[in-house]
Structure 1
């Protein structure tokens, strides 16, 4: 066996190492296993595969690139199994990383053409293969900080399949262009100014692809900020509605206090006449007046109180029988918005489920309880029509083709505070159990 060709083929296949690492950068919050376990699994599969395929490439006299391309397709499936992100996100990240790492390959071909002008891509030298591996590692390192610090937020929060599939198509254009542009004979690069033009073209394309990813990040960041602003605006509207309810209740109370003297005189007059029935009727009417428009006070948090009142009003107007028992600790401004988002998604999902059941049979039970002074337990039960869609990553939305966004947001909020969220169903009942540390 030609050891030089084997080493060259091995170095080419080892490019899968920095490429694989790049795929996991942005998935740091979407990994099924720990980083150490994922790295061990990745190395245990990739290294024997690289040694075996490089040997087969030399023994069967097959161009290693013919093995590399199917290998990229093959390795997508174990990658998909080690992350919890949806298929569109996985494809977008994987194809994007493959597109980026075709550029070190192109520059390595140019380097090989400079060293061996009479050779070609099929006779890729060891020096060029090593240059490609080093360049791929440098590219992976350069993209590591932006990916870990910025892009992971988009993966966690943006659940719009159309955007991710558009990214797949865009990255595929660059990927297949670079595959087609591989110089099979280096003599073509030494014709006129082709060598300089080739380097300039690849450099410009790499800059354009990087700029596209930056613009994608900026654009999706605006979308996410708009969604957060909309959520905050909705919360402020709920609080304003709650404030107006309180004002109305205060006016009603002031009026009742003003009328109280007249009521006492009336009751005294009726008592003198011995008209017990009229006294009872008047007291019942007065009691109803006291309760009318009385705002519900669920907890000490104004934001959560407004949220509960808002959704309780929606539930009652939809004919949903509600049984809520709310016990919440004092919240800090830092965690209040996260808890508001968690309850907002939880209650909205439950109400949506109830609306699939005929009116008169709808019910929604919600209980929150503080245990061990620092743990908040939330149990939600609602009925629905019994139709569910499940994937290997859990429940999927019945409104669109993706994962259930509300449930994913609930789980993310619970994990942020060292807890967990579990969704399940039995017949026509849907359960969500959440525990988190406050």
Structure 2
């Protein structure tokens, strides 16, 4: 039974922390995941056998606890070496994860000590009393999911590839916590080792630290999502600008056709058929064979509408544009791009869920003085719409990567002192807003 106690204690003090250290880097192993697991289990088996044997045979007499600690710290050292070699990441990233996980370990240990001494459970001369093991297991099971959520947020930070300098700064928070906690723990071993209040303060201190972690990574996660949205929008806007340049070229080519026809007429009037044939071959590729529809003088809006017209045509969706705007709008190109792109993207997706005459999109863009009126209507299947907290959500499978369209449109409307209105009635999905395009808009 003593060997079993020490096996369980060794397992609970090693396995959860090893798992949490590796979790954020699960796709960054230098070898295969199976190989990493095999190495970890090999180290565990290599160290747990002497650890349990010494306890079972009571080897060492008065020095047995020292022997246990030596074996335990050797195991930690081997796992640390494995962690550094197997994981493919920056050293500050690995250090940060390590310090955070050690903070978690300190919290669990302090909580177990606090509960064990508060209720004054009986113990013997051996480590890992059964009650303490049960409490340790319970705390780990309760905290596993929230701590994994914290590790997942850290994983997001790792994926965006922050600068090494920033990771070094981030390491200071958990490292400082561990330093203060270690000093406090050392002081308690001098004369107040059994003071329950001190251990309770350790628990509260650890809770506070994890609240700081959670808030920090919540804010950083939001910033990362906003930056990613901006990067996607920038790439999209750049694509539309290039398309607008191509459209300008096509318009110029159409304009040049008239001059080419005049030149051909001159050749034919002179009965110079060979010259006319050579002229045709020379400029055939520049004649602009692809049709191009002009919806408005605004080249960016024209590019967006042209792309979605083709997309709607492929999906057998009828599109009706009513556009009355100038060639220039007092609105940032990226905001205009995101607004129209999300409106039309949602409309096309909504039309895919219906059939026949209900597959239609009506878009109105009207500008007057400093105001821009935007209204988009499309057929929809009301039964397939997902509503949560009074708001319409994405019905796509991966909700974490979708469902931001209306939110983005709402933020843009708010930026330009407008309110986004969404209505669904009789199979008609309608999005409406009026934007104030003056120089007082927030940046």
The TM-score, its normalising length taken from structure 1, stands at 0.53
Output the CA distance in 1 between the equivalents of 2:247 and 2:264.
Answer: 26
> Which residue pairs with 2:80 in the alignment?
76
Distance 2:44 2:29 in 1: 18
**For residue 263 of structure 2, what is the aligned residue in structure 1?**
263
Query: What is the number of residues matched between the two proteins?
Result: 289
Are 1:85 and 2:89 matched, yes or no?
Answer: yes
Change (3 A) 1:253 1:185: closer
Q: 1:144 to 1:31 in 2, by over 3 A?
A: farther
1:48 match: 46
Q: Deviations over 1:35-54 (max 9, x none)?
A: 55543432221133133246
Maintained 8 Å contact 1:239/1:302? no
Deviates more, 1:141-150 or 1:230-239: 141-150
Deviation, 1:128, is 6.7
Report the equivalent of 1:195.
Answer: 196
Partner of 1:13: 10
Match of 1:165 in 2: 168
Q: Larger relative CO (CA 8 A, sep 6+): 1 or 2?
A: 1
Is the CA contact 1:31–1:83 (under 8 Å) kept in the aligned structure 2?
yes
CA contact (8 A) 1:113 1:119 kept: no
Provide the residue aligned with 1:29 in structure 2. Answer: 27
* CA drift at 1:101: 0.6
Structure 1 pair 26/125, CA: closer, same or farther in 2 (3 Å)? closer
1:100 shift after superposition: 1.0
Distance 2:270 2:208 in 1: 89
Query: Residue 182 of structure 1: which of 182, 185, 210 is its match?
Result: 185
- Render the CA deviation track for 1:113-139: whole Å, top value 9, x for unaligned: 45779999x985634752564256336
- Aligned residue in 2 for 1:98: 102
Partner Cα separation in structure 1 for residue 167 and residue 79 of structure 2: 20
The structural deviation recorded for 1:172 is: 1.5
Aligned partner of 1:138 in structure 2 is: 141
Q: State the Cα deviation string for residues 163-186 of structure 1 (Å, max 9, x = none).
A: 332332221222233323226548
Cα-to-partner distance string for 1:360-391 (whole Å, 9 max, x where unaligned): xxxxxxxxxxxxxxxxxxxxxxxxxxxxxxxx
- Tell me, yes or no, if the aligned pair for 2:264 and 2:279 is still in contact at 8 Å: no
The alpha-carbon distance between structure 1 residues 111 and 10, as it changes in their structure 2 partners (threshold 3 A), is farther
The structure with the largest alpha-carbon Rg is 2
Q: CA RMSD in A?
A: 4.5
Change (3 A) 1:189 1:118: farther
Would the aligned equivalents of 1:22 and 1:140 in 2 still touch at CA under 8 Å?
no
User: Please, what TM-score do these two structures have when normalized by structure 2?
Assistant: 0.52
Q: Deviations over 1:379-432 (max 9, x none)?
A: xxxxxxxxxxxxxxxxxxxxxxxxxxxxxxxxxxxxxxxxxxxxxxxxxxxxxx
Corresponding position: 1:254 with 2:251: no
> Could you tell me which residue of structure 2 aligns to residue 348 of structure 1?
none
- Distance in 1 between residues matched to 2:26 and 2:147, nearest whole Å: 11
Unpaired stretches in structure 1, ≥5 consecutive residues: 296-300, 304-332, 334-438
**In structure 2, what is the Cα distance between the partners aligned to 1:284 and 1:84?**
59
Mapped contact 1:113–1:186 kept (Cα < 8 A)? no
